[in-house]
Amino acid sequence: MPVLAPIGRAFLALLAVAGRLALFAAAGIGHAVRPPYYPRLVGKQMLEIGYFSLPVVGLTALFTGMVLALQSHSGFARFNAESAVATVVVLSITRELGPVMAGLMVAGRVGAAIAAEIGTMRVTEQIDALTTLSTNPFKYLVAPRLIAGLVTLPVLVLLADIVGVFGGYLVGIYRLEFNPANYLKLTWQYLETLDVVSGLVKAAAFGFIVTLMGCYHGFNSRGGAQGVGVATTNAVVSSSVLILGANYFITAAFFGT
Amino acid sequence: MAPVPKIRLGGVKKRFGDKVVLDGVDLEVAPGESVIIIGGSGTGKSVTLKCILGLLEPDAGRIEIDGEDVTKLAGRERERVNAKIGMLFQGAALFDSLPVWENVAFGLIEGKGADRKSAKAEALKALAQVGLTADVGEMWPADLSGGMRKRVGLARAVCARPEILFFDEPTTGLDPIMGDVINELIVKTVHEMGATALTITHDMASARKIGHRIAMLYQGRIVWAGPVADIDRSGNAFVDQFIHGRAEGPIKMAVRA
Ligand SMILES: Nc1ncnc2c1ncn2[C@@H]1O[C@H](COP(=O)(O)OP(=O)(O)OP(=O)(O)O)[C@@H](O)[C@H]1O
Ligand SMILES: [Mg+2]
């Protein structure tokens, strides 16, 4: 069947990529847990991934919280459930929107930067040069980024959660005229530890995905400036898709009953 | 009994797709010897060095360093062997993310675990040898001229005092005087450190000055090898055409009008 052949080929190609990616990830993790370690580089990457992402992640979370408050208020007014606004805001932010929004913003910012940097190092033979200087590129380039992504994103998302809830609070108080004490009480009332923890687990997974895809595409880039451009695009697109996919499965694992 | 050659290539083959680049390269380099590889652009000189370093895997053949078969080495074993080798890449391949002095000291700091202060002193010494001052050490690779980058690359290759040195076009892009300074540095390094050197160059004056022996690569094989003194009476038409830079001769350049 001529129609099935291309589908089969595409499927096999997908499997091959998944296999290569899994091997790459395994090598990255293997080198991250075995010495020598590069604490300086991990620190530098944490600064790069976490600290410098604060403004964009903070703003995104703030506006998301504000919009959530407005939307849920106008929607719930139809069946007189306006008092649910605070709960909807805090649950949506901690479980879903905090980690997903932060993950996507970091994918655009950090994933692209990692792919461009490592891709340039590949095409200008800097990665080869590392090897000749008895330094393993996986240890020196990949492992610090994976570690930094894994530990920094949860912190970033925790802050995003706070800012997002605060955004909802601002709109609730100044626009929707809730009583401040009452709004805060409603915010806490139905919030469970698991809501926050599941979000932080997602954040760690997303941090790993973003840095892994940035490193993977950068490492495998070919063919000069154009190749680096392609690697950057692929890193952002693939990590965004993987984030949304992983989000479903983690949610299902936590709350799928 | 002849001493074990420092480097020995036997029947090394490498192809990219259906393009055959190396087609059975045989070459021996004795300890303390300085061998020059000459050959037209794109004949696989850089590929030969990358095969020895394990950056490219040969399709066939055997590569020995100090009598040890290194053709299939990987991981820690490869690092141990590469620690003996210092390499100047054709494009210098300096690390953009590190200042010049850290580039030069990289092998000492990361490879040999030296402390940063003494490594910096060594790096500045190496920079001085290639005619670069201490303030260049504080600059970033992106801010250097092409010839300066080449010299920094050279300083990086010799800084950790490896037993074996690979120079890929060390004098290309340098003015004639600086070119000669570099020639003297290579002669001195080989002489004083007792290092073994393998140099690629198109610069015949430089080849005569730094080489003990010259090998000519053409169509994937070493077509002639002999002492520098014999180069003018090699009796080999390829060598004659090459060293005199004649367009007419047995070597056909793929040029179409
Ligand atoms: N990674 C690679 N993938 C595909 N082809 C390659 C690769 N590396 C080198 N080649 C090809 O191998 C051939 C030899 O390349 P190499 O860089 O060794 O040339 P060279 O002898 O060093 O030339 P030059 O003097 O111009 O530096 C070239 O035709 C090049 O296109
Ligand atoms: Mg070359």
The residue whose CA has the least distance to atom 25 of ligand 1 is B41
Write the pLDDT tens digit of every residue in B188-225.
Answer: 888 888 899 999 998 888 999 999 999 999 999 999 99
Ligand 1 centroid, distance to B130 Cα (angstroms): 28
Is B89–A129 a contact, with Cβ atoms under 8 angstroms apart?
yes
Q: What is the ipTM score, two decimals?
A: 0.89
Distance of alpha carbon B225 from alpha carbon B242, whole angstroms: 14
DSSP calls for B48-108: HHHHHHTSS--SEEEEEETTEE-TT--HHHHHHHHTTEEEE-TT----TTS-HHHHHHHII
Q: Is the pLDDT of residue B163 over 60?
A: yes
Write the pLDDT tens digit of every residue in A156-202.
Answer: 999 999 999 999 999 999 998 889 999 999 999 889 999 999 999 99
| List of residues 6+ apart from B249 with CB closer than 8 A | B237, B238, B240, B241
What is the residue extent of each domain of chain A? 39-246
Write the pLDDT tens digit of every residue in A72-116.
Answer: 998 888 888 888 899 999 999 999 999 999 999 999 999 999 999
- pTM comes to 0.89
Q: Is the pLDDT of residue B157 over 80?
A: yes
Residue B16 CB less than 6 A away from ligand 1: yes
Is A126–B83 a contact, with Cβ atoms under 8 angstroms apart?
no
CB atoms within 5 A of ion ligand 2 belong to B 46, 90
Residue B255's pLDDT band (boundaries 50, 70, 90)? low
| Mean pLDDT score, B157-176 | 90
| Mean pLDDT score, A141-160 | 95
The residue whose CA has the least distance to atom 18 of ligand 1 is B44
Residue B43 CB less than 6 A away from ligand 1: yes
pLDDT of residue B20: 92
DSSP calls for B14-42: EEETTEEEEEEEEEEE-TT-EEEEE--TT
Nearest-atom index, ligand 1, CA of B217: 21
What average pLDDT is seen over chain A? 92
pLDDT of residue B253: 67
| Mean pLDDT score, A8-21 | 90
The residue whose CA has the least distance to atom 5 of ligand 1 is B16
pLDDT of residue A219: 94
